[in-house]
Chain A
């Protein structure tokens, strides 16, 4: 399995260039090539579960060569990226008919997937930056894909802020290189573990925090997200909200802080504060929105707050030598919510795309009563809404429950943590209110006479909606110890080991 790791980067890149080369004349070829590139990625990612190892590209050994690292945390993100990517590709077959130049869309989409796979797999800081730029630049273009006034403006805003973020990350990489003399993450981790902590190290970590914070749209750095995510075509919104901000933002910062720079109590507190800010501000901004996709975009900010809060809490406890069991639980809650959020948020964006595809509007006030006309979309959207609001037995409930329990347990050691419990539950409640509003205004109520003739989503759109909603219902099962120990425990262990990551990578698993 390990020897096939480069395929995660080679298949999407090859697919993208083949599509631009061949598919501009034949309309259907782009669809076929796109799905042909997505399917093997999905299968390979699922085969990777439970495996770990290091791949040396070009047979050059670390620290000089680039290595691809597959460990528990990478596998989790790899599966999320490729599952959601495949669903979005299926959905695009019908949805993107309304746009011209569909082959360009597929090419950019595959470039984005290739970039994200690279970010998740790479074990080299500079390589991380390169893949991050591939994914970001493809997403700038995809946000502007409609070429209308609003989309171009949103894309430009995203471009400027995203470039600032990338610059910060590049500067951070440069500082780390100057400090340690390595670009390989494992070698940096070993060097950092043995050197004394200087202010330059903190400087580098602040640069990474700002850079990846912009990519993850944590609250002080969030203004691009509510414009960019609604402007993109629906499958791209699903990819951006569901996967991109996680792979480029949360995954990268978690990996860098835990395994390369080493967790410190202060950094844990900063990340927790950012998480709490994102949760509360995001959700209160979301309640007042009347644009379907914009509301979902604000909820992305809020839900990423949960993920970051769980991870930050774990970091804080580990850095303070608190009980590792509680730390493991907090991190587990965070990354479980990351996986769940990818599923239900992409499902919600795809549902909003279906509604917009059939009715031509996404203003909540001009919609209503669509449940009887679009039963599949209505049912799946209800499942996703209940899931994001944290209603049992859907997946969102379990991950929020674990985060809440972790904060309560942490409060036995660090008494101030109880306030986090209160905020977590309050935000979940406001989320419920806001999604009741969505259901009330879109799927219940009276059907406007304008929409008497509409039909449900076309086949390919419907099938990806149904599959994602099945995932929403089924992912609670991952809590069963047998499944959990395969999927999540390696990921938590990979983060908990901290700077031992370096030794593990360089000496082999």
Chain B
């Protein structure tokens, strides 16, 4: 699979920055406006899906290998957990918003709401990489019908 026609590739090249920016915007302002880490992560993952469709899976695996995506998936979840446990340590309670009291920030500004933006970023990393993983694994796996009626499962060899 080498991607789609040049028209699609050109359009994808133009819109990719805007999609990425929109995903980051949704994530960073998640505590102020509708959106948040999950929505932002889905937007960023959809960017990768668009690139995979337009340029082929070899292209996207070259810039975002599966191992990296799998690691980022765990890292996102671990950041979330660490923030929750830090609440234990500093605030005395699991998930306590320990930053809000010490560094209040102006209300409704970008740096406010304590640990919530950090959680949003963690969720964004997790959702973006795991949705991309789901898509890419479905793209590289093959089901082969054998002659005797049974099925075989095979993965395309990825070149890293």
Chain A positions within 8 Å of B, measured between CB atoms, are: 3, 6, 10, 13-14, 17-18, 20-21, 55-59, 147, 149
Which 5 pairs of residues, A with B, have the shortest CB-CB distance?
A6-B94, A58-B95, A21-B74, A17-B74, A17-B77
A6, A21, A55: which contacts B78 (Cβ < 8 A)?
A21
Q: Which residues, 83 to 124 on B, are CB-close (under 8 Å) to A?
A: 84-85, 87-88, 91-97
What is the CB-to-nearest-CB distance from A219 to chain B, in angstroms, rounded to a whole number? Answer: 32
15 A–B contacts, CB within 8 A, in A order:
A10-B84, A10-B85, A17-B81, A18-B74, A18-B78, A20-B73, A21-B74, A57-B93, A57-B95, A58-B93, A58-B94, A58-B95, A58-B96, A149-B150, A149-B151
* CB pair B85 A59 closer than 8 Å: no
A14 touches B93 (CB 8 A): no
* Chain B residues in 8 Å Cβ range of A147: 153
- Per DSSP, chain B at the interface is helix
Contact with A along B124-157 (1 / 0, CB 8 A): 0000000000000000000000000011010000
Q: B97: which A residues are within 8 A, CB to CB?
A: 58
Whether the pair A10, B74 counts as a contact (CB closer than 8 A) is: no
Besides A10-B85, A17-B78, A18-B78, 18 other A-B contacts (C-beta < 8 A): A6-B88, A6-B94, A10-B81, A10-B94, A13-B77, A14-B85, A17-B74, A20-B70, A20-B73, A21-B71, A55-B94, A56-B93, A57-B93, A57-B94, A58-B93, A58-B95, A58-B97, A59-B91
CB distance from A39 to the nearest CB of B (A): 19
Chain A's nearest CB lies how many Å from the CB of B92?
8
CA distance A491 to B87 in the complex (A): 31
Q: Flag whether B75 is at the interface (Cβ < 8 A).
A: yes
Q: Closest CB-CB distance, A458 to chain B, in whole Å?
A: 30
Tell me the minimal C-beta distance from A7 to chain B in angstroms. 8
Q: Are the CB atoms of A59 and B93 closer together than 8 Å? A: yes
B84 surroundings in chain A (CB, below 8 A): 6, 10
Known: A13-B81, A14-B78, A20-B74. A59 touches B150 (CB 8 A): no
A213 to B91: give the CA distance in the assembly, Å: 40
Contacts of A18 in B (CB 8 A): 74, 78
Taken together as a complex, chains A and B put the C-alpha atoms of A14 and B91 apart, in Å, by 20
A14/B81 in contact, CB under 8 A: yes
Query: Which of B71, B88, B93, B97 gathers most chain A CB within 10 Å?
Result: B93
**Complex formed: what's the CA distance from A17 to B125 in Å?**
14
With the chains together, A18 CA to B85 CA distance in Å?
15
8 Å CB contacts to A: which residues of B31-85?
70-71, 73-75, 77-78, 81, 84-85
* B82 smallest CB distance to A (angstroms): 8
Chain B residue with Cβ nearest A18: B78
Closest to B94 in A: A6
> Are the C-beta atoms of B96 and A21 separated by less than 8 Å?
no
Q: How far is the CB of A267 from chain B (nearest CB, A)?
A: 35
Asked if A58 meets B87 with Cβ closer than 8 Å, knowing A10-B94, A14-B78, the reply is yes
Cα–Cα, bound, A21→B88 (Å)? 23
Which of A13, A18, A21, A149 has the most chain B CB atoms inside 10 A of its CB? A21
What A residues does B71 contact at CB under 8 A?
21
Bound: A59/B114 CA distance, A: 14
A24 to B120, CA, bound (A): 27
Tell me which residues across on chain B come within 8 A of A20, comparing CB atoms: 70, 73-74
Task: Give the distance to chain A from B102, nearest Cβ to Cβ, in Å.
Answer: 15
